[in-house]
């Protein structure tokens, strides 16, 4: 782009030298409007556009128009060779999208034409020219169930096959993306579990005995997208669906089919793509088929197909695949870093948005040398995988070789030592070294195993060999493809759904929860003993971790222990779709997450049917919350309309926008947009289908949550808070953590909400932020209340109360109980010390919690509610302990251990500093925890605390009004 800018001004000066007012036209000044026949643009807008996508989209046409204009103006002065140089220069500096020859979108069984949420137009397959088989054995049907997480197009209709059926697509020869879309539901009154089938494309086997329902259940997906890359030799791509012979009632179906031409960007024939762990090069040529299983925009947001480079690929946020509590730091490109694709690398290799964001390890070398920045991916056994890593240096401070050098590991083998992005750019001979997109390809062989699926590990670690300036690593993007075997097969086995967690107990007063299970098969080497070893390893790095917590706040480096964390199937304990691949896009917001959208008041009125009271979800101090639909009814949202008389109004409205518009994380509720017309204060959020966590715990007709599901919700919320504390440039302290501010989406994924009271935390020079006390009674940090000094440990205290609330299924405050039992934190701590905590837990959970898990969970909660913040763990430590507790539970379930007894009376649950059991002392001063102890009526943040969050009283839930009918 910089070259383009210089070129424009050179042309302008050239014009001034050659032309006189009487002899030629006046060239428009770069800041005057210039109409090029497409849109009115100034030359500055044409050349200085900040939108890489927009620039690519119009670059070809605009560049041509510009050249035509220049030729018409200077043909009497400029020789043809000079003009050709001008054209070539423009062609070199403008990034161009790939232009697919074939772009077929079939909405199977759908209307003649329909538009998806990404703006792409689909056509029906009913009566289409692509049907080459008899239609007698097929039928079309709408889905019997409508999942709010699933887009209407192309998933709400399907074509069903009872015999082999072939679509024949006339296409140009070359590489094609074939994408198959599936939504597990009943069609034509058929049982969804009977859908068992295979799919072939020309000579390649893509799927065999594939079960959509089993895959959906096992991986906790709302819908499935299978993407294949196939080379078509001739002029036809035949895609055949065949019901399985293994079941008498088997049938096949498909909801949508895409056939899109793609560039030849994934073949490997030059001998440079090596098999990891060997000196052997791997060849990927036109006889090879590929299946994309992961495509990640590392350190950035989701990128929708329409924002790809013309091949309509989806790029996902990498957060769900990070291993452990050490997230590293998301790092956008510095403003003065200019990006330029190197010679031989087409600009459509990956979107520029992939290269302008990255994830690094952080600025602290002591921490970085003690952990790996790791991702974990669940894949099929018995195949080779192409792993493509995208890099571009985004820091203006890193411009020389040996400033940031690191090693790349795949499946615990060194894929590349001393990786240096700047050195790679220098080899390519570019004039500047940062901002140069490069990629490296590796092949990993995953052997057959007794388990049909295994984990593929990717890890980065600083390489200290040549003492680089920064002990750090960087990654911008990841693509992982399964490679067809020698027979042309890509089909793996169906994943195994998790076992049902709990049996229905007739004697239990409440019904068993029939919500979707979560897939978290643990891997605990050596059982509990192995866990103890891991804890010892953590202790070795405790000093470094504590220093990191004190020194790394401004940088946003991750807190908690190093990357040495307990193992699980997917490397982390995300509560839903941990193994999410590019086969689904449902775990995050269905809208583009790279902007905060501005809505007109008319759009808001239309979305809520003019604020129809029938759509009312909640009422609180801020105002009312409505369920709404935007984008033609394709997306469900929660719309919070501020009350102009609210004492919380303007400040919290601004805080929500300022905080949430900059944050995107799997476990934070997404702010879609806002409206501020006509003095309105309206916020639009992702709709949370299952509401608040609290409404699933007590005083509800809803079935109780199984223990493992509660653990996974705790882990998800902890991840969200950990990200707030460490994942941004500055620490963000939530200040209002409670069960009504933990929301559950349609996949039961926990998301932290309500940022109206949030505050930016202390910088490196400070340990706290002095501020007026705000929060919710029962969850309020006593140290914060006493000293009015806010730290991230205030959130930890509140989260400890949440943990007890989840365990005991009772409110944080219940004035109807005896005095010593009113405060849950005090009462739970008292029972913990006495060794009788198991006597106050949710009756539904009795006999269902493994003793080791219970002990770890209770110990974690107790540490969180310590009176002094310095004695509380970081959220990273809390996250680690909760993940470990989950694995202890899973290990006990797998071994068939009974859960009859929870506590060993011979072992004290709480000891004093000398190791003696203290049956009287509490881990905090109960007299300062709330006003009830001293008879004081406190008012915090301008409202009475005694009126909030007490059992039988109005619960505090500003943000959680998204689903909760009552609020603060």
* Residue set of the binding site for ATP: 640
DSSP letter (8 states) at residue 593? -
- Spatial neighbors of 134 by CB under 8 A, at least 6 apart, are none
Helix (H) or strand (E) holding 785: helix 782-787
CB-CB contact of 582 with 314 (8 Å): yes
Structure tokens at 191: 């049982």
DSSP letter (8 states) at residue 679? G
CB-CB contact of 360 with 328 (8 Å): yes
- Cα separation, 219 vs 576, whole angstroms: 8
- Cα separation, 854 vs 903, whole angstroms: 8
Q: What is the distance between the terminal CA atoms of the chain, rounded to a whole angstrom?
A: 50
Beta carbons within 10 angstroms of residue 588's beta carbon: 22
Q: Phi/psi class of residue 323: alpha, beta or left (left: φ > 0; alpha: ψ in -120 to 50)?
A: beta
Beta carbons within 10 angstroms of residue 769's beta carbon: 18
- Spatial neighbors of 520 by CB under 8 A, at least 6 apart, are 498, 568, 569, 570, 573, 578, 708, 712, 886, 890
Which residue in the list 102, 353, 407, 736 is annotated as catalytic? 736
What are residue 38's phi and psi, to 5 degrees?
-110, -65
Q: Determine whether 586 is exposed, middle or buried from the number of CB atoms within 10 Å of its CB (0-12, 13-18, 19+).
A: buried
- Using the Cα atoms of residue 830, residue 834, residue 836 and residue 837 in order, give the sign of their dihedral: positive
User: CA–CA distance from 734 to each of 16, 317, 717, 792, 803 (Å)?
Assistant: 59, 23, 12, 8, 17
What are residue 391's phi and psi, to 5 degrees?
-135, 150
Structure tokens at 855: 């002990």
- Cα separation, 791 vs 762, whole angstroms: 7
- Is the N-terminal amide bond of 958 cis, ω within 30° of 0? no
Q: Phi/psi class of residue 967: alpha, beta or left (left: φ > 0; alpha: ψ in -120 to 50)?
A: beta
User: CA–CA distance from 412 to each of 456, 460, 897 (Å)?
Assistant: 9, 11, 32
Q: Determine whether 207 is exposed, middle or buried from the number of CB atoms within 10 Å of its CB (0-12, 13-18, 19+).
A: buried
Helix (H) or strand (E) holding 641: strand 635-642
CB-CB contact of 305 with 120 (8 Å): yes
- Cα separation, 123 vs 798, whole angstroms: 52
Look up 736 and say whether it is catalytic: yes
- Cα separation, 323 vs 891, whole angstroms: 20
Residue ranges of alpha helices (H) inside 302-358 are: 352-355
- Spatial neighbors of 349 by CB under 8 A, at least 6 apart, are 265, 309, 341, 437, 439
Reported as half-sphere exposure (CB side, CA atoms, 13 A), residue 117 has a value of 21
User: CA–CA distance from 163 to each of 166, 168, 189, 334 (Å)?
Assistant: 10, 16, 17, 57
Catalytic (active-site) positions: 736
């Amino acid at each position: 782009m910089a070259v383009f800018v210089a070129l424009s001004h050179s042309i302008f000066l050239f014009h001034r030298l050659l032309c006189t007012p009487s002899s030629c036209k006046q060239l428009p000044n770069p800041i005057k409007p210039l109409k090029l026949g497409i849109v009115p643009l100034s030359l500055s807008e044409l050349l200085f556009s900040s939108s890489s996508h927009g620039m690519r989209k119009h670059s070809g046409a605009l560049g041509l128009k510009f050249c035509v204009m220049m030729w018409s103006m200077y043909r009497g002065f400029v020789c043809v060779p000079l003009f050709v140089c001008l054209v070539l220069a423009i062609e070199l500096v403008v990034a161009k999208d790939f232009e697919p020859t074939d772009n077929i979108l079939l909405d199977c069984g759908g209307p003649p034409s329909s538009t998806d949420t990404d703006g792409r137009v689909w056509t029906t397959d009913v009566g289409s020219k692509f049907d080459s088989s008899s239609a007698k054995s097929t039928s079309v049907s709408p889905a019997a169930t409508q999942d709010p997480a699933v887009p209407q197009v192309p998933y709400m209709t399907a074509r069903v096959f009872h015999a082999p059926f072939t679509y024949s697509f006339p296409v140009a020869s070359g590489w094609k993306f074939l994408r198959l879309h599936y939504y597990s539901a009943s069609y034509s009154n058929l049982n969804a579990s009977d859908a068992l089938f295979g799919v072939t494309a020309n000579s390649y086997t893509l799927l065999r005995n594939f079960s959509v329902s089993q895959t959906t259940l096992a991986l906790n997906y709302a819908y499935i997208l299978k993407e294949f890359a196939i080379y078509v030799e001739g002029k036809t791509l035949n895609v055949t669906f065949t019901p399985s012979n293994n079941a008498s009632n088997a049938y096949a179906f498909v909801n949508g089919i895409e056939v899109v031409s793609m560039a030849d960007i994934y073949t490997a024939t030059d001998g440079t793509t090596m098999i990891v762990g060997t000196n052997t090069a791997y060849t990927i040529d036109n006889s090879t088929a590929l299946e994309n299983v992961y495509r990640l925009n590392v350190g950035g947001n989701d990128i929708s197909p329409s924002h790809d480079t013309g091949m309509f690929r989806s790029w996902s946020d990498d957060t769900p695949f990070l291993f452990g509590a050490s997230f590293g730091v998301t790092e956008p490109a510095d403003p003065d870093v200019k990006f330029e694709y190197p010679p031989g690398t087409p600009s459509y290799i990956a979107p520029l948005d992939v290269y302008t964001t990255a994830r690094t390890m952080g600025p602290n070398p002591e921490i970085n040398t003690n952990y790996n920045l790791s991702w974990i991916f669940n894949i099929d056994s018995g195949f080779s995988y192409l792993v493509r890593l995208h890099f571009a240096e985004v820091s203006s401070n890193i411009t020389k070789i040996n400033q940031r050098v690191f090693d790349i590991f795949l499946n615990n083998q060194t894929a590349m030592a001393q990786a240096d992005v700047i050195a790679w750019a220098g080899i390519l001979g570019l004039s500047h070294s940062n901002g140069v997109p490069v990629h490296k390809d590796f092949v990993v062989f995953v052997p057959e195993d007794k388990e049909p699926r295994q984990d593929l590990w990717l890890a980065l670690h600083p390489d200290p060999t040549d003492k680089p300036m920064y002990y750090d690593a960087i990654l911008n993007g990841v693509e992982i493809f399964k490679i067809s075997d020698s027979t042309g097969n890509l089909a793996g086995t169906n994943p195994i759904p998790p076992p049902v967690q709990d049996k229905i107990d007739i004697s239990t007063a409440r019904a068993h929860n029939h919500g979707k299970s979560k897939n978290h098969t643990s891997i605990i080497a050596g059982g509990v003993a192995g866990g103890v070893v891991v804890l010892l390893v953590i202790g070795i790095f405790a000093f470094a971790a504590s220093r990191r917590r004190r020194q790394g706040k401004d940088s946003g480096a991750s807190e908690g222990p190093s990357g040495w964390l307990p193992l699980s199937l997917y490397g982390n304990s995300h509560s839903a779709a941990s193994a999410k691949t590019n086969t689904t896009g449902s775990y995050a917001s269905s809208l583009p997450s790279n902007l905060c959208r501005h809505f007109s008041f008319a759009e808001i009125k239309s979305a809520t049917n003019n604020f129809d009271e029938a759509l009312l979800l909640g009422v609180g101090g801020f105002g009312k919350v409505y369920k709404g639909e935007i984008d033609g009814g394709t997306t469900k949202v929660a719309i919070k309309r501020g009350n102009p008389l609210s004492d919380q109004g303007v400040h919290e409205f601004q805080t929500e926008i300022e905080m949430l518009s900059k944050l995107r994380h799997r476990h934070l509720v997404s702010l879609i947009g806002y409206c501020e017309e006509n003095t309105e204060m309206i916020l639009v959020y992702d709709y949370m289908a299952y509401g608040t966590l609290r409404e699933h715990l007590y005083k509800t007709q809803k079935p109780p949550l199984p223990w493992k599901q509660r653990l996974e919700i705790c882990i998800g919320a902890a991840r969200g808070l950990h990200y707030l504390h460490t994942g941004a440039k500055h620490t963000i302290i939530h200040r209002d953590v409670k069960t009504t501010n933990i929301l559950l989406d349609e996949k039961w994924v926990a998301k932290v909400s309500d940022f109206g009271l949030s505050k930016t935390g202390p910088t490196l020079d400070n340990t706290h932020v002095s501020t007026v006390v705000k929060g919710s009674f029962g969850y309020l940090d006593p140290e914060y209340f006493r000293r009015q000094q806010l730290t991230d440990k205030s959130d930890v205290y509140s989260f400890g109360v949440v943990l007890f609330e989840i365990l005991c299924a009772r409110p944080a405050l219940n004035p109807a109980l005896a005095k010593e039992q009113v405060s849950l934190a005090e009462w739970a701590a008292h029972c913990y010390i006495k060794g009788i905590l198991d006597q106050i837990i949710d009756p539904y959970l009795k006999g269902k919690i493994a003793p080791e898990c219970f002990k770890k969970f209770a110990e974690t909660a107790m540490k969180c509610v310590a009176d002094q913040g310095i004695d509380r763990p970081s959220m990273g430590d809390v996250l680690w302990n909760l993940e470990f507790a989950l694995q202890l539970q899973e290990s006990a379930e797998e071994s068939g251990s009974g859960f009859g007894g929870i506590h060993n009376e011979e072992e004290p649950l709480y000891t004093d500093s000398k190791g003696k059991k203290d049956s009287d002392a509490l881990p905090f001063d109960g007299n300062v925890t709330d006003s009830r102890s001293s008879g004081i009526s406190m008012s915090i943040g301008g409202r009475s605390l005694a009126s909030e969050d007490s059992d039988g009283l109005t619960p505090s839930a500003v943000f959680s009004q998204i689903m909760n009918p009552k609020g603060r």
